[in-house]
A = this chain, B = another copy of it.
Amino acid sequence: MKIGEAAKATNLPIKTVRYYADIGLVAPDGRGANGYREYDETAVEKLRFVGRARSFGFSVPECAELLSLYEDKTRASADVKRIAEAKIVALDAKLAELHELRDELARVATACAGDSRAKCAILDRFSKV
């Protein structure tokens, strides 16, 4: 199939599919006589794989690593587990901080009277003027 169809099938922008081909992350099956990229089911499968991994917060180099693990079925799954667990630790830290930020913002919101007065206790604390 051509790049447009592959893009639709993987739910990725055409530009992104082309970009992945350019950087050698997911190469198309080959080129047609007209020079068009040809994607077979395997390539589409890899694109889907990468798309999902990216949405999980893996960088492109990490995706390349995962993809190589994916391609080489004989490799130990411990490698994949190690990468995933490192990612979970980072996510937990992010979650904790996000909660903190959310609560801080909520404090600001509740401290606001919500009327037309330009007075806000917490804002006063931060404002220097």
Contacts and interface: CB of A to CB of B under 8 A. Distances in A.
A5 interface: no
Contacts of A119: 77
Contacts of A114: 77-78, 81
A11 to B, nearest CB: 10
A80 B122 contact: yes
A57 interface: yes
Contacts of A113: 77, 81
A38 interface: no
A21 interface: no
**Chief secondary structure at chain A's binding surface:** helix
A127 to B, nearest CB: 5
A60 to B, nearest CB: 15
Interface string A51-86: 011011100000000100111011111101100110
A97 B129 contact: no
Nearest to A40: B128
A101 B46 CA distance: 12
Contact of A76 (B52, B55, B106, B117): B117
A82 to B, nearest CB: 8
B55 A116 contact: no
